[in-house]
Structure 1
């Protein structure tokens, strides 16, 4: 899997870089930057990650450090077999 070069460091948007210094600003903030990496300063914070339609609440834990914010806000709904909602089919 291709990665970012180690000498560049992890990507973090400019507004998140400013926000990580002040911990009170992080809690319950909307994050539109799905491409930014989660840094250790965000641990134990609850953030709202935008998925293209609505913000999704996500609690940041130790296991999520190093991943991208976008990995935890799914953009597509799951498709299941919705038999009850179909019209025109007569149940036997």
Structure 2
């Protein structure tokens, strides 16, 4: 089930980059824990540190990511591989 159009995309207000903050302009990174926030066009070019449950992963937003959620780009599980047997 999708979100109602009249409400607009869900974006955590804390994750919005503050244009008035000088230190934010210098760093150009925003740290967020909300993986369910949707990426909006004003986020293009900004680097986000997204929490995956253990660490923060860097994500630079591009135009192709608009409309997706942050959680789609920060995997929470490791890649599984079988260990080789010793002969």
Normalising by structure 1, what TM-score? 0.79
Name the CA distance, whole Å, in 2 between partners of 1:66 and 1:15.
Answer: 18
| Number of residues of Structure 1 aligned to a counterpart in Structure 2 | 83
Unaligned runs of 5+ in 1: 84-88
Normalising by structure 2, what TM-score? 0.83
RMSD of aligned residue pairs (Cα, Å) = 1.9
Q: Which has the larger radius of gyration?
A: 1
Runs of 4+ deviating beyond 4 Å? none
Aligned 1:1-92 pairs, distance under 5 A: 2-17=1-16, 19=17, 21-22=18-19, 24=25, 27-83=28-84, 90-91=86-87
Unaligned runs of 5+ in 2: none
